[in-house]
Copies of this chain bind each other. A is one copy, B any other.
Amino acid sequence: MDFWGEFLGYLAGICTAVFFLPQSVQTIKTKDVSGLSFGSYVIYCIGMILWIAYGAYLHSIQMIFFNAVSLIFAAIILFMIVRQR
């Protein structure tokens, strides 16, 4: 079970990354952050930091890694929202 259990976490992380990253990359490339809410992205970044901390508490490399990737993209978008305000 150990191998498959760990494997599940990687597979889950890849699926959510495949869902979210193309949209984030496009937003960063086009620099079009109109319609994106500053407050929502602040809450999302806080959420990612909390998931990383919770992942550390559970000793889950998968949760730490995939949430850190999301946090980097969300932080770039948040920075762009702040700059365009």
Interface residues of A (CB under 8 A from B): 1, 5, 8-9, 11-12, 14-16, 18-19, 22, 40, 43-44, 46-48, 50-51, 53-54, 57-58, 60, 62
B19 contacts A50, C-beta separation under 8 Å: no
Counted per complex, copies of this chain come to 2
Interface centre among A16, A53, A54 (most CB of B within 10 A): A54
| A47 CB contacts on chain B under 8 angstroms | 12, 14-16, 18-19
**Closest-CB distance, A43 to chain B (whole angstroms):** 5
Task: Report 7 cross-chain contacts, Cβ distance below 8 Å, ordered by A residue.
Answer: A5-B57, A8-B50, A8-B54, A15-B43, A15-B44, A15-B46, A16-B48
